[in-house]
Amino acid sequence: MANIPTTQIRNFCIIAHIDHGKSTLADRLLEQTGTVTTREMKSQLLDDLALERQRGITIKARAVAMQCERNGVTYQLNLIDTPGHVDFQYEVSRSLACCEGALLLVDAFQGVEAQTVANAFAAMEHELKIIPVINKIDLIHARPDEVAEEMMNSLGTDPEECLRVSAKTGLGVDDLVDAIIEHVPPPTGDPNGTLQAMVFDSNYDDFRGAITYIRVMEGTVRKGQKIQFLSTGSTHDVVELGQFAPARVATNELAAGQVGYLICNIKSLGDVHIGDTVSIPGDHAAEALLGYDRPRRMVYCGLFPSDGQDFSELRDALERLAVNDPSFEFEPETSDALGFGFRCGFLGLLHMEIVQQRLEQESDVDLVQTAPNVTYEITNKRGETRMIHKPQDVPDPGEIEEFRQPIVRCNIIVPEDYIGAVIKLCQERRGIQKNQEYLGAGRAMITYDIPLAEVIYDLHDKIKSCTRGYGTLDYEMVGYEAADLCRLDILVNGSRVDALSVVCNKADADRRGRAVAKKLKQEIERHMFEVAVQAAIGTRVIARETVPAMRKNVTAKCYGGDISRKKKLLQKQKEGKKRMKAIGSVEISQKAFMAVLSGGDEG
């Protein structure tokens, strides 16, 4: 598989909005080129994570090498299948850096969507050759001509160049393979030059150690040779190398332009960095490649083991996952309520959910997760600016000069019948309208600047609801803006519960404080003394609920007789409860935390 001239190699990826048929088209290409037999074939073959198959979405980008013959010449087609969801944009950017061409896939019924526009512009920035493809033309209600016009209006593609395929039936896939060979330029690079390869992904195998996915830019890497990772300076022997077809197939060498994997018996997870450059050791090593922009984590939350004994297991699981997914970060933290755990940063809410589920499924760790929050910027009275990743770090209101929140630019594509509902929703989220344009008959793109904290919780779900599933959302960070924000604390029996603190707009604080206090009142078990649940901003209490004390009827034995005996017993009980309250501690169960933290809008 390795001995193919550079001129006969084509590296391309498939980019599209979520659910437009990328993984299904990848299946048809694998069949068309004979890479997998009919017996081995199953739908979404490249989505091999259990979670991907369970949810029906692509989470990790996957590489696969295919071979096909045209006019007696054997071509190698290296495909990278990418995710479509906005949270996994970082996976897409890594894939684009390894390709010379991209298939821009658009659904023949749904047309151009928010993520289609974002991915197309990302491909243009990487100067890739874009092949526009309209998929699902076998649908009864397909409208390929209108969609081709939409693509021309929003992306500037020529309607005549749009290939029409059905990934489900295989219609038009043969012409698509011809178009890839004809239009995607072969990689540049000299197989005889100094080795220079980019690490675009990695995985951890319990038996083989770290498996590094590379795209060779210059030179050739051979089995048994010594290589060096330039960012860490570590040197290793190549034990095995090969390509994905789609399973790992070992070869003796990988030359310039090829995509494959390296196994070097790397047991230390810190030695592999995605975006690093692989070269030869010594003074004649190649220059380091630019790599990738560091991913910007948008959402932070605390992950704690539900059983305090599993802390080391959780740390090992997070380290393993970080090798495979460099777009999330973690650092240890402690909480009075939940014990030892980790503060983790994610690209978005779906990314957070996926990481949590992967930890639970792949590493069998039970987790408690705190309320997600975004990163804020604070300037104090001394003029110092600091980033705030968790509400507990917010100083007292008297020390804050300016409190800034992250703002994202949201592109929302909706049918024109639902424009009013979407505008109303964005204004409720304190959005500022920036633009509104029509993509074609009956479809518009509305652009709003909205605080990220208002976007991450449920804006996507709400847009889907108010547009009956037709609206789509894509967002990108634009910067920080000053806002009227505060830290909302929850106090139980006078003590602050750090895990329940949140940063919110002052206008929303009363509503949110009351909602959390009511929820906690229902969840906290009754004690021998009454328990006050309060919501406070600084020292000002804005809401209070009281959990009544358990009461024993101490006057039950006093039937008849003088009333003063009853009063004496009740007074004695009252003093006992007062003493108990002074020394007693309130137990808040994990169940109560989970009920409040998963309370959605109310919490």
Please indicate if the annotation marks 557 as binding a ligand. no
Lowest mean pLDDT among 76-90, 404-418, 470-484: 76-90
Q: Indicate if 240 and 389 belong to the same structural domain.
A: no
- CATH code where residue 242 lies: 2.40.30.10
Final residue of a structural domain among 183, 215, 242 = 183
What is the structure's pLDDT at 44? 47
Q: Indicate if 476 and 553 belong to the same structural domain.
A: no
Which structural domain, as residue segments, surrounds residue 556? 486-597
Q: Indicate if 74 and 215 belong to the same structural domain.
A: no
Please indicate if the annotation marks 251 as binding a ligand. no
Q: Indicate if 57 and 159 belong to the same structural domain.
A: yes
In a domain, 291, yes or no: no
Q: Which two tokens stand for residue 105?
A: 């896939």
Final residue of a structural domain among 449, 464, 482 = 482
Q: How far apart are CA 92 and CA 70, in angstroms?
A: 29
Final residue of a structural domain among 155, 183, 211 = 183
Q: Indicate if 134 and 58 belong to the same structural domain.
A: yes
- Closest by CA to 148, choosing from 133, 168, 136, 166, is 133
Q: What is the pLDDT of residues 9-25, one digit of tens each?
A: 888 888 887 778 877 88
In a domain, 509, yes or no: yes
- CATH code where residue 408 lies: 3.30.70.240
Q: What is the pLDDT of residues 211-236, one digit of tens each?
A: 888 888 888 888 888 888 887 778 88
For a pLDDT cut of 90, what percent of the chain falls above it? 0
Lowest mean pLDDT among 129-138, 189-198, 299-308: 299-308
- Closest by CA to 405, choosing from 447, 449, 369, is 449
Neighbouring C-beta atoms of residue 594, cutoff 10 Å: 14
In a domain, 603, yes or no: no
Neighbouring C-beta atoms of residue 182, cutoff 10 Å: 10
Q: Indicate if 168 and 27 belong to the same structural domain.
A: yes
Please indicate if the annotation marks 567 as binding a ligand. no
In a domain, 347, yes or no: yes
Q: What is the pLDDT of residues 41-96, one digit of tens each?
A: 555 454 444 444 454 555 555 678 888 888 888 888 888 766 655 555 555 666 67
Lowest mean pLDDT among 52-56, 203-207, 378-382: 52-56
In a domain, 290, yes or no: no
Please indicate if the annotation marks 578 as binding a ligand. no
- CATH code where residue 97 lies: 3.40.50.300
Lowest mean pLDDT among 74-83, 484-493, 569-578: 569-578
Q: Indicate if 362 and 316 belong to the same structural domain.
A: yes
Q: Indicate if 587 and 526 belong to the same structural domain.
A: yes
Instruction: Give the residue with greater pLDDT, 224 vs 581.
Output: 224
> Can you give the C-alpha Rg of the chain in angstroms?
29
Q: Give, as one character, the DSSP assignment of residue 371.
A: P
Q: Indicate if 144 and 205 belong to the same structural domain.
A: no
DSSP for 67-103, please give it: EEEETTEEEEEEEEE---SGGGHHHHHHHHTT-SEEE
Q: Can you tell me whether residue 416 is helix, strand or coil? A: helix
Please indicate if the annotation marks 24 as binding a ligand. yes
Q: What is the pLDDT of residues 141-186, one digit of tens each?
A: 888 888 888 888 888 888 888 888 888 888 888 888 888 888 888 8
Please indicate if the annotation marks 138 as binding a ligand. yes
Q: What is the pLDDT of residues 523-556, one digit of tens each?
A: 777 776 677 888 888 888 888 888 887 766 656 5
Provide the number of structural domains found in the chain.
Answer: 5
Q: Indicate if 356 and 382 belong to the same structural domain.
A: no
Q: Indicate if 384 and 533 belong to the same structural domain.
A: no
What is the structure's pLDDT at 60? 54
Q: Give, as one character, the DSSP assignment of residue 393.
A: G
Please indicate if the annotation marks 364 as binding a ligand. no
Instruction: Give the residue with greater pLDDT, 298 vs 407.
Output: 407
Q: Indicate if 152 and 38 belong to the same structural domain.
A: yes
Given CA atoms 513, 515, 520, 522 in this order, what sign does their dihedral have? positive
- CATH code where residue 353 lies: 3.30.70.870
In a domain, 191, yes or no: no
C-alpha to C-alpha distances, 438 to 500, 516, 552, nearest whole angstrom: 43, 42, 70
pTM of the model: 0.69
